[in-house]
Chains A and B, each alone.
Chain A
Amino acid sequence: MSDPANITLVTMDGTTFTVPSAYLHRSKLVQDWLRSEGDKQAMEVKHVTPFVLQGVLNFCEIHAEDTSEPLADPADPTKPFEADPRDDAFRGMPDDQLLQFTMAADILQIPELVRLTAQEMASRIDGKSPDQIRAMFNPDDLAEEDVDSDNEMGEVGEEGAISK
């Protein structure tokens, strides 16, 4: 490794980003890579686009000096979590971009960013019907007959049973 203070990341299209290693101290993937293969020139992040990686690195830079305890991976979603105004950029993002960031954070194993983006995505799903969620995400393996036949929602019947 030429410069232990910095790390170079290479995205899917070959774009390189060189940043201080300290920015990525919360990324378990990067920390593992530094320990095992830190003598190599650059770390490949094949499934991440330059735009998304830039956003992830911005997040890491903003939070580089945070003193809070690192989260477990995966973070416990039931623990209360206060929104940080420094992360407002993620809240105005289109759904597809937000999902790309969630995936990138998952790949790089940054639980703080996974929590932020997953929480934001969960808030967008909040209160929506299955139809509205389908319109929002349209999962590729959607089989319509599953959807129409799966109607277990009914009335509360005797002894808590469901009467359709």
Chain B
Amino acid sequence: MADGKRSTSPTQMARSILRRLSGISIHRKGIFPETADVVLRIFEHVAATSTADTLALARVCRSWRQLAFGVSVWRSINLPMSVPTKPRDVRQARAWNCDHETLAAVANHVRSGRLPRGVTTSLTFYAGLPEEEDLWPACWDNEKIKNAFMTVLAYVAPGLRKFEFEAGVAWQAEVVETLCAGATPGRLTEVTLSFRDATDECLATVTEETPAIQRKLALLHPFLPALETLRVDWPLDRLTVRELLTGERLAPEEVPQADRPENPFGYPYCFHVAPLAGPFVLPPTAVYPNLQSLRLADFSVSEGEEFSLTRYDTVYQLFATAFPGLKELELDARWRRHPGGFRTFPFVYLDVLLREDGEFIRFPGVERVVLARGKLEGDIKPVTEVKGLKDERSLVQPEGVKMVMRKFPAARSLEVRWREGVSRKLKVKRVNL
């Protein structure tokens, strides 16, 4: 507790002067409990949502500082970097400063050995840089911020059960490498990797460095058997199913063309199995029964290249085989502009998922389905014409639900998200089945 009564500190003198000058009564409520247990309970709840607040508590007084660096308080570390998007918005600037300082302080505590070791089970980092580089804060230094984060990650990795990360693609290889080098196989159960800045430069980098990235992602394989949740949002490009399965890159002449038999509909598209790369470069016989929740984003197709429904089915087959314990499946597609100027159309997965012609894959164990920002429209006739489904929201109407149930016979809840109106506001509809 306290180190004993001090004589007169400058602040106490200031209080005394203020009191005399203004007659204002500055008195201590002293309402906070002396029981360390109760204070700790509160600190733990503060720490669960905000590391910045934990650090603020540590700066209140010496005894709170001791409590704030207690073992139970650092079970989770949250490091959001809420980057300002409006140049002269004071509130945004303040939030950015606070987040920036928090990362710096945590890195500093790591380096000084003040942070309890091996106790952190959850680490979250989020850097929401806007795509337009001129909107980045003047003081943003990608390398320095990355180094600070890597310091923290390397320190806490051995104890991690949950790792949630979202930042630019330039970080991807190092993050995966640092995580895999430090984390304990069998202990890590929830991984979210999201590299989503969609600038031309980033996408070009990703496309060029795909083989290297895949090699890094292969480091995750030892962790897959224990994973209960894996979320991957990764703008990898131009991967075929064979590449997906084997990890080999195909020579250009080997890439299937639009008129080949595996493209029965002859669509001028090629889907990108972007998020499926890496962790999903699995031996065809691999089975990971512990994985219960899977979220895939950027599940898209590109105009101007070949497209094959068969490939989608192959991917779904891969999921159904590799993840028999899957209970939650979220497919989240986004519209995206590519470096070459062509657009992607992130809608086909829904049509393919729900197609009724021929053989299709069922997910018998999936109880919760989220179909987000996909679309049912355009040239995909097997679904739209036969069933009259007009768009994504049709999926929560009786006819659409019937189709979903064919694919997900055990589904108990369905959530559909779509954008609507001039404002393109995101709408969400949930139904219990």
On A, residues with C-beta under 8 Å from B are: 74, 77-78, 95-96, 99, 102-103, 106, 114-115, 118-119, 121-122, 125-130, 133-134, 137-148, 150, 152-162
Determine if B105 and A162 form an interchain contact, defined as CB atoms under 8 angstroms apart: yes
Q: Which of B99-128 contact A (CB under 8 A)?
A: 100-101, 103-105, 107-111, 121-122
When A and B form their complex, which 3 residue pairs have the shortest distance between CB atoms, in order from nearest? A141-B2, A160-B148, A160-B151
Determine if A150 and B33 form an interchain contact, defined as CB atoms under 8 angstroms apart: no
Determine if A147 and B60 form an interchain contact, defined as CB atoms under 8 angstroms apart: yes
**Which of A114, A138, A145, A154 has a CB less than 8 Å from the CB of B108?**
A154
Determine if A102 and B10 form an interchain contact, defined as CB atoms under 8 angstroms apart: no
Q: Given the known inter-chain contacts A78-B48, A144-B9, A144-B10, please indicate yes or no for A139 contacting B104, CB distance below 8 A.
A: no
Across the interface, which residues of A come within 8 angstroms of B147, CB to CB? 156, 158-160
Across the interface, which residues of B come within 8 angstroms of A126, CB to CB? 46, 49-50, 53
- Measured CB to CB, the closest approach of chain A to B38, in angstroms, equals 5
Determine if A103 and B33 form an interchain contact, defined as CB atoms under 8 angstroms apart: yes
Q: Does B56 contact A (CB under 8 A)?
A: yes
24 A-B residue pairs with CB within 8 Å: A78-B75, A95-B31, A99-B33, A106-B38, A106-B41, A121-B45, A125-B46, A126-B50, A133-B60, A137-B29, A138-B29, A140-B2, A140-B34, A143-B2, A144-B6, A144-B11, A150-B59, A156-B141, A157-B144, A158-B144, A159-B147, A160-B148, A162-B107, A162-B111
| B37 nearest in chain A by CB position | A106
**Which of B31, B57, B111, B152 has a CB less than 8 Å from the CB of A138?**
B31
Interface mask (B359-371 → A, CB under 8 Å = 1, otherwise 0):
0000000000000
Across the interface, which residues of A come within 8 angstroms of B46, CB to CB? 122, 125-126
| B148 nearest in chain A by CB position | A160
Provide the bound-state CA to CA distance between A125 and B104, in Å: 21
Q: Most chain-B Cβ atoms within 10 A of its Cβ — which of A74, A77, A99, A155?
A: A77
Q: Does B55 contact A (CB under 8 A)?
A: yes
- Measured CB to CB, the closest approach of chain A to B374, in angstroms, equals 26
Q: Does B63 contact A (CB under 8 A)?
A: yes
Across the interface, which residues of A come within 8 angstroms of B11, CB to CB? 144, 147-148
Q: Given the known inter-chain contacts A106-B38, A138-B30, please indicate yes or no for A146 contacting B108, CB distance below 8 A.
A: no
Q: Does B213 contact A (CB under 8 A)?
A: no
Q: Given the known inter-chain contacts A102-B38, A137-B29, please indicate yes or no for A152 contacting B62, CB distance below 8 A.
A: no
Across the interface, which residues of A come within 8 angstroms of B10, CB to CB? 144-145, 148
Determine if A153 and B41 form an interchain contact, defined as CB atoms under 8 angstroms apart: no
**Which of B12, B37, B110, B148 has a CB less than 8 Å from the CB of A156?**
B148
Provide the bound-state CA to CA distance between A143 and B321, in Å: 62
Across the interface, which residues of A come within 8 angstroms of B50, CB to CB? 126-127
Q: Does B1 contact A (CB under 8 A)?
A: yes
- Measured CB to CB, the closest approach of chain B to A46, in angstroms, equals 14
Across the interface, which residues of B come within 8 angstroms of A115, CB to CB? 45
**Which of A106, A121, A147 has a CB less than 8 Å from the CB of B35?**
A106
**Which of A102, A146, A156 has a CB less than 8 Å from the CB of B107?**
A156
Across the interface, which residues of B come within 8 angstroms of A137, CB to CB? 29, 31-32, 60
Provide the bound-state CA to CA distance between A96 and B2, in Å: 21
Provide the bound-state CA to CA distance between A154 and B112, in Å: 14
- Measured CB to CB, the closest approach of chain A to B228, in angstroms, equals 14
Interface mask (B55-76 → A, CB under 8 Å = 1, otherwise 0):
1111111111100000010011
